[in-house]
Chains A and B, each alone.
Chain A
């Protein structure tokens, strides 16, 4: 069965600094990968997704992620964060073997400080 590991439960960073949120998944022949953001008291919102093609995926709010098959990773990056980026970020994976069920990681809390 697929699994997702988000290596950092919390990431504090200063405003305008770059940030990387790490995500690793268990290997499968063909996977689809997602990053979602959850602001306080709100539902999840899709930031970006990788289905196929270019391994560098650009999303909303200036975020991007890179699919690395050999490392089984899908790390999320932003070159310069804002206070408003403070939220919980979830990495997720689905694949054919799992019936395309979406499996979420435990989340990474990004805290942007002034």
Chain B
């Protein structure tokens, strides 16, 4: 069974440029998470989807970040414009379901973003 797929694995851009990350969760997983992991830190939740609905986006910097999961399967996270402080690893995870339970989250390998 394929795990969580993310692309690209690495991205280098100049500040003020746009960037997008793509995630395909494990088949059948209804819940999808986007995390940001800064160097030397643990992951921090940016947004959580239950199917196509964003149920927790309280940590998403909405002035420059956006996300979508139109058909409740794969998802895209976008930053426009990128800032130097956005350099981090962006992790996608999925689980069977999320709200009110503790299903295991399965993580993708992440996209390492470097903003110059």
**Shortest beta-carbon distance from A49 to chain B in Å:** 7
Question: Is residue B105 contacting chain A, with contact meaning CB distance below 8 A?
Answer: yes
In the bound complex, how far is the Cα of B95 from the Cα of A101, in angstroms? 13
- Check A107/B109 contact, CB under 8 A, given A43-B91, A101-B45: no
Q: A49 touching B102 by the CB < 8 A rule?
A: yes
In the bound complex, how far is the Cα of B113 from the Cα of A21, in angstroms? 29
Q: B42 touching A43 by the CB < 8 A rule?
A: no
In the bound complex, how far is the Cα of B101 from the Cα of A107, in angstroms? 24
Report which of B42, B102, B110 forms a contact with A51, defined as CB distance below 8 A. B102
B-side interface mostly: loop
In the bound complex, how far is the Cα of B105 from the Cα of A45, in angstroms? 8
The count of residues in chain A whose C-beta lies closer than 8 Å to any C-beta of chain B is: 24
Question: Is residue B85 contacting chain A, with contact meaning CB distance below 8 A?
Answer: no
Per-residue interface assignment for chain A, residues 21 to 61, with 1 indicating a CB less than 8 Å from any chain B CB and 0 otherwise: 00000000000100010000111111001010000000000
Q: B41 touching A41 by the CB < 8 A rule?
A: no
**Shortest beta-carbon distance from A72 to chain B in Å:** 18
Count of CB-CB pairs between chains A and B under 8 Å = 52
**Shortest beta-carbon distance from A98 to chain B in Å:** 10
In the bound complex, how far is the Cα of B114 from the Cα of A83, in angstroms? 30
Q: A42 touching B109 by the CB < 8 A rule?
A: yes
Report which of B4, B44, B98 forms a contact with A43, defined as CB distance below 8 A. B4
Find the B residue at minimum CB distance from A101: B45
Q: Can you report 18 A-B residue pairs in the complex whose CB atoms are below 8 A from each other? A: A42-B109, A43-B91, A43-B106, A43-B108, A43-B109, A43-B110, A44-B93, A44-B105, A99-B56, A100-B98, A100-B99, A100-B102, A101-B48, A102-B105, A104-B42, A104-B44, A105-B42, A106-B41
Q: Which residues of A contact B (CB under 8 A)?
A: 4, 9, 32, 36, 41-46, 49, 51, 90, 92, 94, 96, 99-102, 104-107
- Which are the 5 A-B pairs with shortest beta-carbon distances? A104-B42, A43-B107, A44-B107, A32-B102, A43-B109
Q: Which residues of B contact A (CB under 8 A)?
A: 4, 40-45, 48, 56, 91, 93, 98-102, 104-110
